[in-house]
Amino acid sequence: MALLNLENLTVEFPTRRGILRALDGISLSIDDGEVLGVVGESGAGKSLTGVAVIGLLEPPGRIAGGQILLNGKRIDNLPYEAMRRIRGRQIGTIFQDPLTTLNPLYSIGRQLVETIQTHLHLSDADARKRAINWLSEVGIPAASQRIDAYPHEFSGGMRQRVVIALALCAEPILVIADEPTTALDVSIQAQIITLLKRLTRDHGTAVMLVTHDMGVIAETADRVAVMYAGRIAEIGPVAEVVRHPAHPYTEGLMGSIPSLEHRVARLRQIDGAMPRLNAIPPGCAFNPRCPKVFDRCRNERPELLAAGATHAACWLFGGGRADAEADDA
């Protein structure tokens, strides 16, 4: 059984003009110790998927269908206090901006000790010792001296290391990492990704890594789910998705990334933009931007279909254009 299962997860936002469906039947799983990358353009629903898993949907957002299972137990319908106990102890979170995670009025030591004691029955001395060990493990120099410093006394990269320590200090079984390197310099990004990979591997922690950066996914993840307009466009082993993308949207994402192996005069781009939630077209949501579109794409919405080593929500793998044209004839 997978560690985390999302089964047909649907998230809606009621508005005065009707209901907006932000996640539309998302199904995916993460195994013990696995890193699943979730990638897509802004507005695809990737961050919202992580927020739904940790139970922090902002009202009026709501889970309108499906379920979330952690170790086989449903968690999407738990009372607030029960879900709060799961956050931190079983599910850790790393957000994009460490300043939104860290309280500027408390020392980092106090925040770490409080987090540890919330989830583990340790004395003040033992919790402080554990906090120092975690600061050392994430690469904070002179951790025993810096534990009483405040967030503003650390650089951006060091603050993100503290946030990683906060996410992992209660030794959760799953970490949701939402754009953990976006606000950092490129050289610091590489250090943080290397750190996250090492720590989660050493502690056997599974990770849902949410990002728009396919390079981070290729470097870090075991599998990748490509999202578009609130649905999964393609999911599979990261090497297959990167080298042999099946869905035209994934192919477009790959074509927009510079390559050191093949020099090109101009990178490809995907024409158009992600549709608004109140204007998602019928059929495949990607069809207005797709270079391989045919009639069936405009009228029927594809589910995930076997596409070699991956699964893609594309009619090219459900009989394909040739079969569709034969049917029309």
pLDDT for the residue numbered 263: 66
Domain residue extents for the chain: 4-90+172-260+269-328
In this prediction the pTM is 0.91
Residues 6+ apart with CB under 8 A from 45: 11, 22, 23, 26, 227, 229, 230, 231
CB-based burial label for 293 (10 Å; 0-12, 13-18, 19+): middle
CATH match of 4-90+172-260+269-328 with 3.40.50.300: yes
CB-based burial label for 273 (10 Å; 0-12, 13-18, 19+): exposed
Cα–Cα distance, 103 to 96 (Å, whole number): 15
SS3 63: strand
pLDDT for the residue numbered 328: 45
pLDDT for the residue numbered 17: 87
Cα–Cα distance, 38 to 45 (Å, whole number): 10
Residues 6+ apart with CB under 8 A from 121: none
pLDDT for the residue numbered 326: 46
- Low-confidence stretches of the chain (pLDDT < 50) are 324, 326-329
- 29-61: pLDDT as tens digits: 999 999 999 999 999 999 999 999 999 999 999
pLDDT for the residue numbered 234: 98
**β-strand partners of 228:** 231
pLDDT for the residue numbered 262: 62
pLDDT for the residue numbered 98: 85
